[in-house]
Structure 1
Amino acid sequence: MSSLSELSAQQREDIRQACGFACVRCGVTIYRYLRLPDGNGATLLCPTCHGLVEEGRLTPMQVQGFHTNPVVRQRHFARDRLPFSPDLPALILGGSRLLKDTPIPLTLEGEPILIFAPPRRSNGATRISVRLGDADGEPVQVVEGNEWMPSDGSWHFLLRGDRYSMMAARGDGLAILRIVARNRIAVEHLRTTIRGRRLEVTPDWLEIDGKRHVGRIGSGMLVGLEC
């Protein structure tokens, strides 16, 4: 089985719909596209489950079985613990009041660090995009509309309880998003350097180039704060 990078927009939409907009094995809404073992179509696996395939710990037959019966479509699956919501999520970060209707809470050196968008379909997942600096300070798209972009081991993803953790293999790039509720997300910790500018964010404060601020991110606008 191999990853798929060249898919049309319609093919990607059809695959997402068939898989329930999440990893067919665990339900995580950050995913990669993977060719099915019979070569007929593709499925969605989160970076962790994709790694199990690469290590041979998840067999082609098992992948086919998960694709046939995605976990998010099973009765026991708790959708509230993951960001499945038809609405733009409210955000908790930087010591500001609860941010609502703010798709891009932060930009650094003209680069949007986080982007949130409602799903294209009401039964889909919140679309999350993350852009952080690599070890040299160059911006890298880590997640694009829930699709995990790195394929060379330069970034790692992990689900820890109710947290999506994304970490650079080299450098200090880090983003931890806590799913407070399916329509509420807290930026528990974000740290990055882009073109010499350093940004660090928690729910209580943000720090730009070593200077700490509270309550500077605006709510109800396209971009909450431009750094």
Structure 2
Amino acid sequence: MANKFGLSRNIPDDVKRAVRQHCGFGCAICGTTITEYEHFFPDFVDASKHDPKKIVLLCPTHHSMVTKGIIPKEKVQESWAQPAAKDLGYSKTEHPWFKGIPSLKMGGGPLVQGTPIPIQVRGTNIIEFEPPEEGSNLARISAKLQDASGNNILSIDKNEWRVLSGSWDFKCVGNRYIFLDKFNAPSLILKMNPPNWIAIELLLTSIDGIPVKVTEEKLMIGSSTFSGGLFSNCRVGFAFG
């Protein structure tokens, strides 16, 4: 989709990186690490180019408030000039940071350590961790959620929130990242305990029509239930199908 100047919504990678670096790799207003990109002065509809000095990182909650006019663009501009993430230094638990690949609690087994892809179903990486990019302390989290028909509905790509279908919401409560579906029910809950580990308290998705449920205690894939059996210090901790 392009605006009246023919500008695509797809922001080039080098521009995104410049925006992330400027904003301290977090929401300019609150510092949360799961983010989206927002144009300001001008808005995207009036922008003739993707100018990193006119694009800001915002968490889904603050992005929605800006879109609805609850937060004025003047506040966005102020936050761009003095990003919260840089002021906070990621010292608060609700803005976690991890050096390298974080350890993971899930599936009832011991702590999964040093494993970039903790769980894979039929070749699809349900959740993936990458080390921080240069200039950042933040591990990059990627995750994909699909509906019962296997349609991609939500993805987190290296800490960037991408809503693909339907109405979704995100909130940060204490040290938990909670992703809500269009019915306001949790589909993904991540509990952060920096700099030590992340716990998957809940992950609901579907791969090729097979329902998948992950909690701290067990993995449920179709009619099969697993507890334990995840491996550390390897590329993939658990693979099914």
Q: What is the TM-score normalised by the length of structure 1?
A: 0.89
| 2:15 alignment counterpart | 11
Q: Deviations over 1:5-34 (max 9, x none)?
A: 322211111100000000011111011111
Give the SS at the match of 1:51.
helix
- The structure 2 residue matched to 1:199, chosen from 184, 206, 212, is 212
1:32 and 1:147 in contact (8 A); partners too: yes
| Pair 1:11–1:84, CA change in 2 (3 A) | same
Q: What is the TM-score normalised by the length of structure 2?
A: 0.84
> How many positions carry a matched residue from both structures?
225
| 1:177 alignment counterpart | 190
| Pair 1:171–1:212, CA change in 2 (3 A) | farther
1:204 and 1:214 in contact (8 A); partners too: yes
| 2:161 alignment counterpart | 148
Residue 138 of structure 1 deviates from its aligned partner by 2.3
The code of the aligned residue for 1:31 comes to T
Which runs of 5 or more structure 1 residues have no equivalent in the other structure?
Answer: none
Residue 113 of structure 1 deviates from its aligned partner by 0.6
Give the SS at the match of 1:105.
strand
| 1:208 alignment counterpart | 221
Q: Is the counterpart of residue 21 in structure 1 residue 34 in structure 2?
A: no
| Pair 1:137–1:167, CA change in 2 (3 A) | farther
Computed over aligned residues only, the root mean square deviation of the Cα atoms, in angstroms, reads 2.4
Give the SS at the match of 1:24.
coil
Q: Deviations over 1:53-76 (max 9, x none)?
A: 111100010010111111122258
Residue 198 of structure 1 deviates from its aligned partner by 1.5
Give the SS at the match of 1:217.
coil
1:71 and 1:77 in contact (8 A); partners too: no
- The structure 1 residue matched to 2:136, chosen from 110, 123, 129, is 123
Which runs of 5 or more structure 2 residues have no equivalent in the other structure?
Answer: 48-52
Identity %: 32
Give the SS at the match of 1:113.
strand
The code of the aligned residue for 1:18 comes to H
- The structure 2 residue matched to 1:67, chosen from 65, 68, 80, is 80
| 2:70 alignment counterpart | 57
Aligned equivalents of 1:151, 1:62: Cα separation in 2: 28
1:35 and 1:41 in contact (8 A); partners too: yes
